[in-house]
Amino acid sequence: MVSQYPPNLRIRLPAFILILEAALILIFGVFVSYDHSQNLTRDYPVFQHVNLMVILGFAFFLAFLKRYGFSGTGFSLLLAALGVQWAVVVEGFLFHFSAGKIKISLQSILTAIMSIITVLISAGAMLGKVNLMQLIWMALVEVTVFAVNRWVAVNILQIQSHVSVMHAHLFGAYFGLMVSWMLHHSSLSQKAEKERSRPVSNMFAVLGTLFLWIFWPSFNSVLIKEEEKKWTAIYNTYFVMATSVIAAFSFSAATNKNGKLSMAHIQNATLAGGVALSFSASIIQQPWIAMALGLAAGMISVLGMACLQKHLDPALKIHDTCGVHYTFGLPSLLGGIIHIIVILTNHSNNLSVFGYSALIEVGALSLSLVISLFSGFITGLILTCKLWKAPPVTKYFDDQAYWEFPHLAVGF
Amino acid sequence: MVSQYPPNLRIRLPAFILILEAALILIFGVFVSYDHSQNLTRDYPVFQHVNLMVILGFAFFLAFLKRYGFSGTGFSLLLAALGVQWAVVVEGFLFHFSAGKIKISLQSILTAIMSIITVLISAGAMLGKVNLMQLIWMALVEVTVFAVNRWVAVNILQIQSHVSVMHAHLFGAYFGLMVSWMLHHSSLSQKAEKERSRPVSNMFAVLGTLFLWIFWPSFNSVLIKEEEKKWTAIYNTYFVMATSVIAAFSFSAATNKNGKLSMAHIQNATLAGGVALSFSASIIQQPWIAMALGLAAGMISVLGMACLQKHLDPALKIHDTCGVHYTFGLPSLLGGIIHIIVILTNHSNNLSVFGYSALIEVGALSLSLVISLFSGFITGLILTCKLWKAPPVTKYFDDQAYWEFPHLAVGF
Amino acid sequence: MVSQYPPNLRIRLPAFILILEAALILIFGVFVSYDHSQNLTRDYPVFQHVNLMVILGFAFFLAFLKRYGFSGTGFSLLLAALGVQWAVVVEGFLFHFSAGKIKISLQSILTAIMSIITVLISAGAMLGKVNLMQLIWMALVEVTVFAVNRWVAVNILQIQSHVSVMHAHLFGAYFGLMVSWMLHHSSLSQKAEKERSRPVSNMFAVLGTLFLWIFWPSFNSVLIKEEEKKWTAIYNTYFVMATSVIAAFSFSAATNKNGKLSMAHIQNATLAGGVALSFSASIIQQPWIAMALGLAAGMISVLGMACLQKHLDPALKIHDTCGVHYTFGLPSLLGGIIHIIVILTNHSNNLSVFGYSALIEVGALSLSLVISLFSGFITGLILTCKLWKAPPVTKYFDDQAYWEFPHLAVGF
Summarize pLDDT for C78-96 with one digit per residue, the tens: 999 999 999 999 999 999 9
List the helix and strand counts (H, then E) for chain B: 16, 3
Q: Phi and psi at residue C128, in whole multiples of 5°? A: 90, -5
The rounded percent of chain A whose pLDDT value lies above 90 is: 74
Q: Give CA–CA dist C138/A51, Å, rounded.
A: 35
pLDDT on residue B409:
45
pLDDT on residue A12:
87
Chain A nearest-CA residue for C213: A55
Query: Which chains are adjacent to chain C, needing at least 3 Cβ pairs under 8 Å?
Result: A, B
Q: Which residues of B touch C28 (CB under 8 A)?
A: 239, 286-288, 291
Average pLDDT, integer, range B247-271: 94
pLDDT on residue A4:
47
- CB within 8 Å: B32 and A287: yes
Q: Which of residues 196-255 of C touch A (CB under 8 A)?
A: 196-200, 202-203, 206-207, 210-211, 213-215, 218, 227-228, 231-232, 234-235, 238-239, 241-243, 245-247, 249-251, 253-254
A39 touches chain B (CB under 8 A): no
A82 touches chain C (CB under 8 A): yes
- CB within 8 Å: B292 and C73: no
3-state secondary structure chain C: CCCCCHHHHHHHHHHHHHHHHHHHHHHHHHHEEECCCCCCCCCHHHHHHHHHHHHHHHHHHCCCECCCHHHHHHHHHHHHHHHHHHHHHHHHHHHCEECCEEEECHHHHHHHHHHHHHHHHHHHHHCCCCCHHHHHHHHHHHHHHHHHHHHHHHHHCCCCHHHHHHCHHHHHHHHHHHHHHHCCCHHHHCCCHHHCECHHHHHHHHHHHHHHHHHHHHHHHCCCCCHHHHHHHHHHHHHHHHHHHHHHHHHHHHCCCCCCECHHHHHHHHHHHHHHHCCCCCCCCCHHHHHHHHHHHHHHHHHHHHHHHHHHHHHHCCCCCCCHHHHHHHHHHHHHHHHHHHHHHHCHHHHHHHHHHHHHHHHHHHHHHHHHHHHHHHHHHHHCCHHHCCCCHHHCCCHHHCECCCCCCCCC
A34 touches chain C (CB under 8 A): yes
Contact A289/A335 with Cβ under 8 angstroms?
A: no
CA distance A13 to chain C (A): 7
Q: Which residues of B touch A42 (CB under 8 A)?
A: 41
Among C219, C226, C263, C305, which would you mutate to test the A interface (most chain A Cβ atoms within 10 Å of its Cβ)?
A: C263
> Which of C239, C250, C285 has its CB closest to that of A18?
C250
Contacts (Cβ under 8 Å, ≥6 apart) of A71: A128, A399, A402, A403
- CB within 8 Å: C69 and B199: yes
Kindly report, residue by residue over C359-402, the tens digit of the pLDDT.
Answer: 999 999 999 999 999 999 999 999 998 888 888 888 899 999 89
Among C3, C73, C101, C395, which would you mutate to test the B interface (most chain B Cβ atoms within 10 Å of its Cβ)?
A: C73
Up-side HSE of residue C20: CA atoms within 13 Å toward CB?
Answer: 23
Among B49, B195, B206, B234, which would you mutate to test the C interface (most chain C Cβ atoms within 10 Å of its Cβ)?
A: B206
Confidence of residue A317 (pLDDT cuts 50, 70, 90): confident
pLDDT on residue B411:
41
Query: Which chains are adjacent to chain A, needing at least 3 Cβ pairs under 8 Å?
Result: B, C
Q: Does A92 have pLDDT greater than 70?
A: yes
B151 touches chain C (CB under 8 A): no
Q: Which residues of A touch B405 (CB under 8 A)?
A: 199
- CB within 8 Å: A407 and C196: yes
- CB within 8 Å: C17 and B266: no
C132 touches chain B (CB under 8 A): yes
CA distance A54 to chain C (A): 10
Q: Which residues of C touch B285 (CB under 8 A)?
A: 33-34
Chain B nearest-CA residue for C10: B259
Q: Does B127 have pLDDT greater than 80?
A: yes
A403 touches chain C (CB under 8 A): yes
Cβ atoms within 10 Å, residue C192: 14
- CB within 8 Å: A235 and B399: no
> Which of C3, C7, C56 has its CB closest to that of B210?
C56
Chain B nearest-CA residue for A200: B412
CA distance C7 to chain A (A): 37
Query: Which chains are adjacent to chain B, needing at least 3 Cβ pairs under 8 Å?
Result: A, C
Kindly report, residue by residue over C224-278, the tens digit of the pLDDT.
Answer: 988 889 999 999 999 999 999 999 999 999 999 888 999 999 999 999 999 999 9
pLDDT on residue B9:
67
Kindly report, residue by residue over B14-49, the tens digit of the pLDDT.
Answer: 999 999 999 999 999 999 999 876 667 778 999 999
pLDDT on residue B5:
47
> Which of A28, A60, A411 has its CB closest to that of C287?
A28
Q: Phi and psi at residue C389, in whole multiples of 5°? A: 50, 50
> Which of C203, C214, C250 has its CB closest to that of A55?
C214
CA distance C312 to chain B (A): 34
Q: Does C412 have pLDDT greater than 50?
A: no
Chain A nearest-CA residue for B38: A228
Q: Which residues of B touch A202 (CB under 8 A)?
A: 70
Q: Phi and psi at residue B371, in whole multiples of 5°? A: -65, -40
A36 touches chain B (CB under 8 A): no
> Which of C198, C231, C295 has its CB closest to that of A36?
C231
Cβ atoms within 10 Å, residue C286: 14
Kindly report, residue by residue over B146-170, the tens digit of the pLDDT.
Answer: 999 999 999 999 999 999 999 999 9
> Which of A49, A197, A245 has its CB closest to that of B81?
A245
Name the nearest CA neighbour of B411 among B396, B395, B399: B399
Chain C nearest-CA residue for A28: C288
Contact C17/B249 with Cβ under 8 angstroms?
A: yes
- CB within 8 Å: C295 and A25: yes
3-state SS, residue A213: helix
Kindly report, residue by residue over A191-227, the tens digit of the pLDDT.
Answer: 778 888 899 999 999 999 999 999 999 999 999 988 8
Average pLDDT, integer, range B179-202: 86
Average pLDDT, integer, range A53-64: 95
Contact B121/B274 with Cβ under 8 angstroms?
A: no
Burial per residue of C374-383, b for 16 or more beta-carbon CB atoms within 10 angstroms, e otherwise: ebbeebbebb
Confidence of residue C410 (pLDDT cuts 50, 70, 90): very low
Q: Which residues of A touch C247 (CB under 8 A)?
A: 21
CA distance C232 to chain A (A): 8
Whole-Å CA distances, A393 to A194, A320, B379, C411 = 11, 15, 55, 33
pLDDT on residue A39:
64
Q: Which residues of B touch A238 (CB under 8 A)?
A: 109
Contact B85/B29 with Cβ under 8 angstroms?
A: no
Angle at which helix B287-303 crosses helix B263-277, to 10 degrees, equals 140
